[in-house]
């Protein structure tokens, strides 16, 4: 797709965004705030809900407190937890079936990105019972108000509790693509840091870098952003700079956990309007083809994309470096210092540098899917063609050692 066409499309989208109805969910936050959710639900009229969560969370017993509180409050519930790391259209259909069979009239998403995305897609199916998930993927394909929707994040990364996106892998083709529509933004959110205390360090690291990726891509895109998204992206980056390593090294530090939840929330709202970019476009293909957890894909790809963008992102990255108090003689030095901070943080958290699972025969498909997702929608600093994507893939398969 031509670069000029992409920029013209993005110029039209910039105008159209003022009529899209972006919003932030009404939210409660702080340690123990999950216990206040049933009262909020009753106040909003939710009497029979589908709780969408994940199998690992159920095994760990993390939703138990919520379910007990729902029972005490007299709120009926059904639980759907048969969801993979990367939710599929089959998962969505299974959850939608349970919703209908139990006559539910509200949704509670409890977990990380997978339950959140699955719950959003279930909600989209509720208001479009005659459409498939594949037919709902794309931009503004829902456009109907979802049932009452409460989101309870248990990781600090996806920001899905405040975004327009639901990323689902189509079971037959393994193509991972997003439903993008303001209609699927949850109405209410609970940010309780106590729910993230038990996260393994690896999950803390990769979800935290996912949040960073959201903030950085939204800020470096900048075309669709207003002052609000720019501020939220900067605030998120500073919170991550100050708190991610602490949360990784000391998972019981509630202050760091709470700040990371806030960072994820802010970054999610920033990219809801500002959009993500090529890190996500390529990362989604790795999730769809190889089952790579989303946050891990983001952490691997982010610094390589920023380096390949080169001077086009120096100004915006230098501004993020300023927010963090990084030093440099000029924009280039500050921007490179910012990228080096990401690389150093990855080393400190023992995360991989590259992605050696990519198979030669899959590269054309990866490029096709990434370009279809990103161009013309994502207002990236530099519009890439097939050769640029191939260069990135070569880099992430055999990266130079990060210092």
Mean pLDDT (the chain, rounded): 95
Average pLDDT for residues 351-377, to the nearest whole number? 95
pLDDT at 402 over 60: no
Residue 389 scores a pLDDT above 60: yes
Average the pLDDT over 358-384 and give the result: 96
Q: Is the pLDDT of residue 1 over 80?
A: no
Q: What percent of the chain has pLDDT over 70?
A: 99
SS3 of the chain: the string is CCHHHHHHHHHHHHHHHHHCCCCCCEEEECCCHHHHHHHHHHHHCCCEEEEECCHHHHHHCCCHHHHHHHHHCCCEEEEECCCCCCCEHHHHHHHHHHHHHCCCCEEEEEECHHHHHHHHHHHHHHHCCCCCHHHHCEECCCCCCCCEEEEEECCCCCCHHHCCEEEEECCCCCCEEEEECHHHCCCEEEECHHHHCCCCHHHHHHHHHHHHHHHHHHHHHCCCCCHHHHHHHHHHHHHHHHHHHHHHHCCCCHHHHHHHHHHHHHHHHHHHHHCCCHHHHHHHHHHHHHCCCHHHHHHHHHHHHHHHHHHHHHHHHHHHHHHCCCCCCCHHHHHHHHHHHHHHHHHHCCCCCCCCCCCHHHHHHHHHHHHHHHCCCCCCCCCCCHHHHHHHHHHHHCCCCCC
- Average pLDDT of 293-318? 97
Per-domain residue ranges of the chain: 3-196, 201-397
Q: Confidence class of residue 124 from pLDDT cuts 50, 70 and 90? A: very high
Top CATH class of 3-196 equals: alpha beta
CATH topology (fold) of 201-397: Dehydroquinate synthase-like, alpha domain (1.20.1090)
Name the percent of the chain lying above pLDDT 90.
93
- Residue-wise pLDDT for 134-144, tens only, equals 999 998 999 99
Q: What is the pLDDT of residues 180-212, one digit of tens each?
A: 999 999 999 999 999 999 889 999 999 999 999
The whole model's pTM is what?
0.91
């Amino acid at each position: 797709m031509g670069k000029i066409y992409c920029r013209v499309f993005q110029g039209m989208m910039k105008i159209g965004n003022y009529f899209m109805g972006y919003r932030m969910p009404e939210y409660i936050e702080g340690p123990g705030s999950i216990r206040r959710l049933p009262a909020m639900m009753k106040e909003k009229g939710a009497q029979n809900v589908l709780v969408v969560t994940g199998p690992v969370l159920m095994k760990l017993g993390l939703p138990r407190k919520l379910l007990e509180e729902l029972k005490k409050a007299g709120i009926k519930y059904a639980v759907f937890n048969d969801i993979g790391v990367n939710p599929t259209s089959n998962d969505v259909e299974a959850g939608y079936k349970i919703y209908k069979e139990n006559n539910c009239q509200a949704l509670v998403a409890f977990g990380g990105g997978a339950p959140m995305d699955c719950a959003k897609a279930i909600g989209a199916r509720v208001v479009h019972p005659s459409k498939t998930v594949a037919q709902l993927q794309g931009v503004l394909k829902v456009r109907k108000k979802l049932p009452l929707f409460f989101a309870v994040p248990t990781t600090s990364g996806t920001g899905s509790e405040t975004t327009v996106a639901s990323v689902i892998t189509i079971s037959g083709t393994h193509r991972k693509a997003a439903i993008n529509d303001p209609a699927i933004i949850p109405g209410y959110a609970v940010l309780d840091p106590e729910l993230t205390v038990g996260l393994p360090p690896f999950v803390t690291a990769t979800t935290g870098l996912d949040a960073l990726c959201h903030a950085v891509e939204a800020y470096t895109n900048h075309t669709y952003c207003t002052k609000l998204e720019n501020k939220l992206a900067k605030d998120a980056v500073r919170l991550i700079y100050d708190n991610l390593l602490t949360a990784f090294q000391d998972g019981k530090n509630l202050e760091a956990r709470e700040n990371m939840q806030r960072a994820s929330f802010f970054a999610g709202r920033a990219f809801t309007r500002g959009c993500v970019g090529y890190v996500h476009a390529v990362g989604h293909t790795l999730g769809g083809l190889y089952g790579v957890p989303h946050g891990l894909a983001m952490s691997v790809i982010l610094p390589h994309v920023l380096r390949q963008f080169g001077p086009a992102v120096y100004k915006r990255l230098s501004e993020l470096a300023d927010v963090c108090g990084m030093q440099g003689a000029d924009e280039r030095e500050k921007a490179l210092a910012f990228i080096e901070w990401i690389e150093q943080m990855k080393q400190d958290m023992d995360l991989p540098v590259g992605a050696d699972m990519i198979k030669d025969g899959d590269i054309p498909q990866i490029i096709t899917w990434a370009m279809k997702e990103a161009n013309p929608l994502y207002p990236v600093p530099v519009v890439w063609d097939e050769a640029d994507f191939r260069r990135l893939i070569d880099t992430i398969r055999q990266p130079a050692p990060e210092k």
